[in-house]
Structure 1
Amino acid sequence: MDNTNNGSVENCQVHIDQNRALYIFYSSVVVVEFILGLLLNITVIHLFVFKLKFWKSKTIDIFLFNLVLADILLLIGLPVKAYNFQQCSEQKVVCKVQLFLQFLNRGASIAFLTVISIYRYFSVVHPGKRKVLRILKKSPQISVFIWLLLGILTIPAMLQSFIRCNSSEKDEELTPIVLLRETVFFTQIFIPFFVLVYCSILIIRRLEQKSVGDKTKLRKAMFLVTAVVLVFAICFLPYAITRAVQLKTNGPVMTEEKLTVVKLYDGLVCLSYLNCLLDPILYCLSSGKFKKLYISMYLPFLLEKQQPESSEDTADD
């Protein structure tokens, strides 16, 4: 097993050395995403806990808090990912911890993203279905259930004796545990995407049918719904599709085609982390109340510039 691992690390290092400039770029992108994402998400969490007291707030705030928390926990593992893009690691324990954080927290981020969309769908399209809304308003219980379920689904995939820290390492055998991991991976991306698209289309239709209300607010709401779907599609769909192609090219021989897929996959992994940076902007800063509070706390120098605009906006409202 040690010889196998050493050989895999050597192969990985050769692959990285042959594409040094590309993987330094990948590593730099991950570091930038880590710094910006962590700063933004920590400041948002600070407002949720100390200013908004999310546990006393609306149902949506509890889901948003869990979404941001999942993104923070995912970001914590990015320095290890940046290191692996430049230097293959032989520390399998560190590798498994990083992969566990990646699988669990990316899954949690997508799950809470989906639940938020479902909640908004019923609130806008079917406000009369009180039983469903009553269930969705049990946000603490739903949040605990999501974390426990994803933890159960993630742990078995981390228990196998050999797991790749880098996509260029030796291919894994398609054991039941590996198949379980890949099934969970594709399920938690493609099913939520279709749910998001379905909810978004019906929400937009419902908003367009509203003849009463502020047209500007309606346009902003429709833009937000559309933006969420686009961000999800850009961050996760190419990454998942390339992962499927990589599994299809699974084999003992590292062909030129396979190396190209590996490089593309690693680049799209970097793109997928962008979701951690965009989630707080799309969901938290899209709220007028939260945005004003955030600016007053962390960007007070923008208040003077926004005062003339805000007075115009008030007049328009």
Structure 2
Amino acid sequence: MANNTGYQDIEDCEATNKALYKFYAAVMIVIFILALPLNASVLHLFIFKLKFWKSNTNNIFLFNLVLADILLIFCLPIKAYNYIDGERRSDKDAICKAMLFMLFLNRGASIAFLTVTSIDRYFNVVHPGRKNLLRALKKSPHISILIWLLLLPLTIPTMLKTFECCNSHSQLPNGTKEDTLVKDVVDSMREVVFFSQIIIPFVILVYCTVHIVNRLRKKTVGDTTKLRRAVFLVTSVMVVFSFCFLPCTVARMVLLIARVKPWPEDWQDKAAVAFDGLMVLSYVDCLLDPLIYCFCSTKFKSIYLSSYFPFLVKGNGVPLDSSTGNTTQPSRNNVI
């Protein structure tokens, strides 16, 4: 096979454009520096100010969302170190698999809780009087535990069989037919998980957004503040989701096509570099998720500002409610 050496070079963990990967590393370090204290402060607020476990509202979902973000943030220094060292992935199989496990689990959890929050708002706005399973389950923290447990099987493909530098559908220069078949099956499972984690929730988010917006348009009488906030919420989730996850999904699809065809070696390398860069972009989700908490409720913003930025609070110590123009009294009950 004349191209074996070329394919092996592509599948090596060494980055071909070291300067660009150092830039990627710098971006991840900046995200880490900004996102860690931001999410830690939100986590502190949920635990010590809101006491989320006593709430029957979306607080439980949002607490798990910030928890997933924090766990994902801790992966960034390791990836940044690899990039600075000139490696696309760790050349150590255990570290490579552990990183994939954490990324699959925590990104999946982040997407899942974003989606569940939007579904819950959809039922509250579009079907306010209808009983639904989610409304019954969200009164218990067990629904959050169940979501985490359901995500665990999706990480199994990341732990099966050694694969070169965590790449899928790479060419095996000296592999047997049986080895190639097993590798293709495992790789395909991993890719199915990757795409299903993004495409299925995106379809659900589009559905919820369209119906909530239509509900707002049909609302001709009565207080529309709740509907507007619901629209702000689902719109912000859609924007964050589209900005952070859809580009890397498209890039992943292009990269897989480049490997399966296969495309020329330099094209495959460019596709891999583009995918890695857009994956770095997806980590900005950890910075944008806290904005969603504010869209969920101005009361959450009020408590956050009064707790951590009291100098921004108006004279009587209560921040201004941006949706009504009036002051709001922070309440620890039913905040979100």
Class of the TM-score when normalised by the shorter of the 2 chains = 0.7 to 0.9
- Cα deviations across residues 92-143 of structure 1 (Å, max 9, x unaligned)? 2222211111010001111111111111111110112114354342452221
Counterpart of 1:222 in structure 2: which amino acid? V
**Number of the residue aligned with 2:312:** 302
* CA distance in 2 between partners of 1:246 and 1:9 (Å): 12
**Number of the residue aligned with 1:281:** 291
Normalised TM-score (structure 1): 0.86
* CA distance in 2 between partners of 1:216 and 1:201 (Å): 18
Structure 1 residue 285 displacement after superposition: 6.0
**Number of the residue aligned with 2:177:** none
4+ residue segments displaced more than 6 Å:
7-10, 305-309
Q: How does 1:189-268 map to 2 (within 5 A)?
A: 189-213=198-222, 218-250=227-259, 255-268=265-278
Match of 1:184 among 184, 193, 196: 193
Structure 1 residue 306 displacement after superposition: 10
Counterpart of 2:299 in structure 1: which amino acid? K
Q: Per the alignment, do residues 203 and 140 of structure 1 end up closer, same or farther by CA in structure 2, a change over 3 Å counting?
A: same
Gaps of 5+ in 1: none
Counterpart of 1:47 in structure 2: which amino acid? L
- Cα deviations across residues 169-220 of structure 1 (Å, max 9, x unaligned)? 9657543222111111101100100100100111111123223455566545
Residue 128 of structure 1: SS of its match in structure 2?
coil
- Cα deviations across residues 45-88 of structure 1 (Å, max 9, x unaligned)? 10101110001013311011111111111111111111122222
Q: Per the alignment, do residues 106 and 40 of structure 1 end up closer, same or farther by CA in structure 2, a change over 3 Å counting?
A: same
**Number of the residue aligned with 2:129:** 128
* CA distance in 1 between partners of 2:84 and 2:258 (Å): 24
* CA distance in 1 between partners of 2:316 and 2:256 (Å): 51
Normalised TM-score (structure 2): 0.82
**Bigger shift: residues 126-135 or 298-307:** 298-307
Q: Per the alignment, do residues 145 and 168 of structure 1 end up closer, same or farther by CA in structure 2, a change over 3 Å counting?
A: closer
Task: Give the count of matched residue pairs.
Answer: 306
**Number of the residue aligned with 1:91:** 92
Q: Per the alignment, do residues 223 and 171 of structure 1 end up closer, same or farther by CA in structure 2, a change over 3 Å counting?
A: farther
Q: CA RMSD in A?
A: 2.9
Counterpart of 1:142 in structure 2: which amino acid? I
**Bigger shift: residues 43-52 or 147-156:** 147-156
Is 1:12–1:169's contact at 8 Å kept on the other side of the alignment? no
Counterpart of 1:107 in structure 2: which amino acid? G
Structure 1 residue 232 displacement after superposition: 0.4
**Number of the residue aligned with 1:141:** 142
Q: How does 1:168-183 map to 2 (within 5 A)?
A: 174-183=183-192
Q: Per the alignment, do residues 307 and 215 of structure 1 end up closer, same or farther by CA in structure 2, a change over 3 Å counting?
A: farther
**Bigger shift: residues 119-128 or 293-302:** 293-302
* CA distance in 2 between partners of 1:194 and 1:203 (Å): 14
Is 1:63–1:143's contact at 8 Å kept on the other side of the alignment? yes
Counterpart of 2:126 in structure 1: which amino acid? V
Q: Per the alignment, do residues 245 and 292 of structure 1 end up closer, same or farther by CA in structure 2, a change over 3 Å counting?
A: same
* CA distance in 1 between partners of 2:303 and 2:171 (Å): 49
Decide which structure has greater helix share.
1
**Bigger shift: residues 199-208 or 169-178:** 169-178
Structure 1 residue 307 displacement after superposition: 7.5
* CA distance in 2 between partners of 1:42 and 1:119 (Å): 25
What fraction of aligned residue pairs are identical, expressed as a percent? Answer: 54
Q: Per the alignment, do residues 242 and 43 of structure 1 end up closer, same or farther by CA in structure 2, a change over 3 Å counting?
A: same
**Bigger shift: residues 172-181 or 38-47:** 172-181
Is 1:59–1:139's contact at 8 Å kept on the other side of the alignment? no
* CA distance in 2 between partners of 1:292 and 1:168 (Å): 46
Counterpart of 1:278 in structure 2: which amino acid? L
Structure 1 residue 300 displacement after superposition: 1.6
- Cα deviations across residues 246-284 of structure 1 (Å, max 9, x unaligned)? 111115786221122112111100110111111111124
Residue 161 of structure 2: SS of its match in structure 1?
coil
Residue 259 of structure 2: SS of its match in structure 1?
coil
Is 1:189–1:236's contact at 8 Å kept on the other side of the alignment? yes
* CA distance in 2 between partners of 1:121 and 1:284 (Å): 18
* CA distance in 2 between partners of 1:206 and 1:136 (Å): 25
Q: Per the alignment, do residues 59 and 276 of structure 1 end up closer, same or farther by CA in structure 2, a change over 3 Å counting?
A: same
Structure 1 residue 225 displacement after superposition: 2.1
